[in-house]
Amino acid sequence: MIDADSTTEIVARNQKYLASTYPRGDMAFVRGLGTELWDARGRRVLDFFSSILCTNLGHCHPAVTEAIREQAGKLVHLSNLHHSDPQSQLAERLVGTSFGERVFLCNSGAEANEAAIKVARRYGHARGGRFEIVTALGSFHGRTMATIAATGQEKVRRGFEPGLPGFRYVEFGDAAAAQAIIGPNTVAILVEPVQGEGGVVPPPPGYLEELRDLCDQRDLLLMFDEIQTGCGRTGTLYAYEQSGCAPDVMTLAKSLGNGMPVGAMVAGPRAADALDLGSHGSTFGGNCVTNAAAVATLDVLNDGETLPRARRAAERLWSGLRDIAAPHADLGEVRGQGLLIGVPTDSPERASTIATRALELGLLINVTGMGVLRIAPPLVVTDGEIDEGLDLLRGALSS
């Protein structure tokens, strides 16, 4: 049992012992339920960030918690040299709800993208050794060496050179630029259907379909990083469903286990057999408990009520945010998709002042991109919580 320490003790211990890779602020949270979080001082905060988009069903969703409890009492882990039921159930659901044919299970977003990158390399090896992957400027695909190479932001690679070769970056939303950069070595295009970390940037109409056509014409794999956009975040189970086309490969993580560390690389017909026996692995990939959580999460997302309710919540929140933003000259147009919402401000400093003030008032939001407020409550957020969150944000903007 972990003792219930005070905020001061928790913060001091973290500052002393953890690698200092994150700016963590000075609050320590100890409990969550639905949209609500409580800190070690007993203060309640509305979580409109869903713990960095990992708790789409809200904190401690009863069905997920029950699945974790039940599986933890049965079998926590089994090696991938044997069959276990939770991963078979999860893979079946992922295939059954998507374009996919085969699934590689892992533990994080970066690991899911690593698998996708390896699929692309294998696909290229079978076609004369093509290896280059085109990704978008402003994208974010993870923090491992391959995924920082895939990420179209120089700052994540700085100081870690030499990087993994084989990535080329083009403007997000510009299919003509993607076409122009494709060369004899190109094997795949990897994009987020809505850029998340890059500032909640939705694609221009037709962009993803144009990439699909391009990939079909040039025998390239189209790979969607749905780590942030997946699991109902944009209003459909997967964001690609709203694009008019399906990718060949999709990666998921973040909310797949509603807070449990689980990732997946889903491969469609053209890519399904790229990873063959012995070509890839992950000791904890397909872990019984995390996969049981993911099965429960997908079952709630597919219950026929959660996604329509999330779409209604998104309408209410968008409308409220537009009303709030309109009179503020320093706020730009509300953008995003579903409950993945960005409100641009005129500077990173202004955005972080607003987020800090909001947290003081009891609303947790985040800043991403170049000064964009990222607002992403759980899909189960109630109308009352939306209105409360909007009031708190109004307060943060005017103080």
Ligand X SMILES: Cc1ncc(COP(=O)(O)O)c(C=O)c1O
Interface residues toward ligand X, by CB under 6 A: 108-110, 113, 140-142, 192, 196-197, 225, 227-228, 253
Where do runs of H (alpha helix) occur along the chain?
7-17, 50-53, 62-72, 85-96, 109-125, 145-150, 175-181, 207-218, 288-301, 306-325, 348-361, 383-398
Q: Which residues are paired to 251 by β-bridges?
A: 225, 265
Q: Within a 10 A sphere around the Cβ of 228, how many other Cβ atoms?
A: 28
Nearest distance, CB of residue 114 and ligand X, angstroms: 9
CA Rg value for the chain: 21
Q: DSSP secondary-structure letter at 230?
A: T
Nearer to ligand X, 253 or 264 (CB): 253
Query: Closest separation between CB of residue 217 and ligand X, Å?
Result: 26
Distance (Å, rounded) from C-alpha 61 to C-alpha 66? 8
Q: Which is nearer to ligand X, 224 or 397 (CB)?
A: 224
Looking at the Cβ atoms of 148 and 301, the one nearer to ligand X is 148
The total number of residues shown for the chain amounts to 399
- The closest residue (CB) to ligand X is 109
66 vs 114: CA distance, rounded Å = 31
Q: Which of 101, 263, 249 lies closest to 188, judged by CA?
A: 249
Q: C-beta of 305: minimal distance to ligand X in Å?
A: 27
- CB-wise, 192 or 210, nearer to ligand X? 192
Cβ 229 to ligand X, closest distance in Å? Answer: 7
136: helix, strand or coil: strand
**Helices 288-301 and 62-72 meet at what angle, rounded to 10?**
150
Minimum distance of ligand X from residue 350's CB (angstroms):
23
Dist CA 271 CA 204 (whole Å): 27
Nearer to ligand X, 189 or 386 (CB): 189
* Least separation in angstroms between CB 109 and ligand X: 2
| Pick 169 or 331: Cβ nearer ligand X | 169
- What's the closest the beta carbon of residue 112 comes to ligand X, in angstroms? 8
Query: Which residue, 48 or 325, has its beta carbon nearer to ligand X?
Result: 48
